[in-house]
């Protein structure tokens, strides 16, 4: 059984997208195909998350 490296890369990207977005694998594949397999995860700095939490709760 030979696996094409491009297919393997796509499967890894689908799995990463599913974990990051919380969607189904078939939806992830459709979205990635529409984006020409461009996918990048960016994390927000901790300070921005704290600011959002404080703004919502009214905490100082």
Domain 5-57: top CATH class: mainly alpha
Tokens of 57: 């709760």
- pLDDT, tens digit, 9 for 90 and up, residues 33-53: 999 998 776 766 665 555 555
pLDDT band at 3 (very low <50, low <70, confident <90, very high): confident
Confidence of residue 14 (pLDDT cuts 50, 70, 90): very high
Distances (CA, A) of 38 to 19, 22, 25, 57: 16, 18, 16, 36
- List the Cα angle 27/41/5 in 5-degree steps: 65
**Structural domain spans, the chain:** 5-57
Pairwise CA distance, residues 32 & 15, whole Å: 11
Distance CA 21, CA 41 (A): 10
Cα separation of 60 and 53, whole Å? 10
């Amino acid at each position: 059984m030979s696996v094409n490296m491009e297919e393997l890369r796509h499967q890894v990207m689908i799995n990463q997208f599913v974990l990051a977005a919380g969607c189904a694998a078939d939806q992830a594949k459709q979205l990635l195909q529409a984006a020409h397999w461009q996918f990048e995860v960016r994390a927000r700095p901790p300070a921005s998350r704290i600011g959002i939490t404080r703004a919502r709760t009214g905490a100082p």
